Amino acid sequence: MSPQIRPLSPELQKVAKEQLKEDPERLEADLQAFKTWIEQQPHLNPRMDDQFLVAFLRGCKYSLERAKSKLDKYYTLKTKYPDYFRITNTTDSKFREIHQTGAIIYLPTPLYENGPRIGIWRMGLVPVEKYTILECMQVAQAMQEIAILEDDYANVNGLVFIMDMKGATAAHLFQMTPSMAKKFTVFSEEALPLRLKAQHFINTITGFEQLFNMFKPMMSKKMQSRLFVHGNKMELLTEQIPLKYLPEEYGGENGTTQEIVAAMEKKLDEYADFFQENANFGTDESLRPGKPIDFEGLFGVEGSFRKLNVD
């Protein structure tokens, strides 16, 4: 039975071979080794479809050990912090309202046509008195899950993210607590199979520096080197992401928010059952072989503050 995986375009296949060490001849054996390991883990109950699992192999450049660790953390964190990471309802009215603001979008054309997928988060489009940052993160989380399953550009070339703070206020920023920041950072670096290639901040506001200085020490040195703060200098952003790859609202050619939101609304409908099924997958710590995970040490308030003062 050959793997049930969408064939990559010739351009992406080349990148997958050269940069991710993907060998189409060995793909089946690599997947089988991964599945065999999963079946031997009494505590782990993940999705088992090939398209989902290959995302973890690609995200870890075919290091089986790293893919195992990532998949385990992915489900461990979803189970331990369901409000953050286990999205089961994408038809909820609040969820859809946030999505319909167009605050969080993935653009239709990847960077340089074949490069990373570009995402934008415009914090200021979501009224802070109506929705929490956690509710916004749940929408972003659902989109990431869909990308894991069907976005070959994101899986092979990673993501480039733009945080545009135009219209946001300090109240938006202060919803983010240190322990929250720590959870998102760990999930993004250690559990998510999509590789973040760059994170740009534009139209930054008062209070941003505090938040930035809270997040930064929590990240690996590699991730820190991928953060770019442009203030309100749009030309610094477009040096790295040419204008044509931004949406029409920015003067670019990469779709309008309205079209992008409408297309994603359809997808969220199609994926409604998929997200409901998320409730069935996860980990059972009581069955974990070896030492239990020390969550308090990883995410305890003490831990996060102590980590902050290092810098």
User: pLDDT, tens digit, for every residue of 283-293?
Assistant: 999 999 988 77
Confidence band for 254, pLDDT divided at 50, 70 and 90: very high
Strand partners, 199: 161, 227
C-alpha span between 89 and 272 (Å, rounded) = 7
What's the farthest any 2 CA atoms get from each other in the chain?
Answer: 57
pLDDT of res. 1: 65
List pLDDT tens digits, range 192-235. 999 999 999 999 998 898 888 888 988 999 999 999 999 999 99
Confidence band for 174, pLDDT divided at 50, 70 and 90: confident
Q: Is the pLDDT of residue 299 over 90?
A: no
Confidence band for 64, pLDDT divided at 50, 70 and 90: very high
> In 27-164, where does DSSP find H-type helix?
27-39, 50-59, 64-80, 82-85, 93-100, 133-150, 152-157
- Provide the percentage of residues in the chain whose pLDDT is more than 70: 95
Q: What is the mean pLDDT of residues 42-68?
A: 97
pLDDT of res. 2: 73
Q: What is the mean pLDDT of residues 10-16?
A: 96
Pair 21, 15: CB distance under 8 Å: no
C-alpha span between 181 and 55 (Å, rounded) = 25
Task: Give residue 256's identity as a one-letter amino acid code.
Answer: T
Task: Give residue 92's identity as a one-letter amino acid code.
Answer: D
pLDDT of res. 215: 86
pLDDT of res. 300: 60
Pair 189, 59: CB distance under 8 Å: no
List pLDDT tens digits, range 79-123. 999 999 999 999 999 999 999 999 999 999 999 999 999 999 999
pLDDT of res. 154: 98
pLDDT of res. 291: 80
Q: What is the mean pLDDT of residues 151-162?
A: 97
Which domains are delineated in the chain?
16-284 (3.40.525.10)
Q: What is the mean pLDDT of residues 156-179?
A: 93
Residue that is written with structure tokens 């990471």 in the block? 85
Q: What is the mean pLDDT of residues 5-30?
A: 95
Average of per-residue pLDDT values in the chain: 92
The first and second tokens of residue 48, run together, are 């088992």
Q: What is the mean pLDDT of residues 121-149?
A: 95
Cα separations in angstroms, 79 against 85, 184, 201, 273: 8, 14, 31, 19
Q: What is the mean pLDDT of residues 140-169?
A: 96
Interstrand relation of 159-164 and 196-202 (parallel, antiparallel or unpaired): parallel
C-alpha span between 215 and 239 (Å, rounded) = 25
C-alpha span between 188 and 136 (Å, rounded) = 16
Total residue count of the chain as it appears in this document:
311
Confidence band for 38, pLDDT divided at 50, 70 and 90: very high
Long-range contacts of 246-255 (CB under 8 A, 24+ apart): 246/107, 246/118, 246/120, 247/105, 247/107, 247/120, 253/109, 254/107, 254/108, 254/109, 254/118, 255/107, 255/108, 255/109
Strand partners, 164: 122, 202
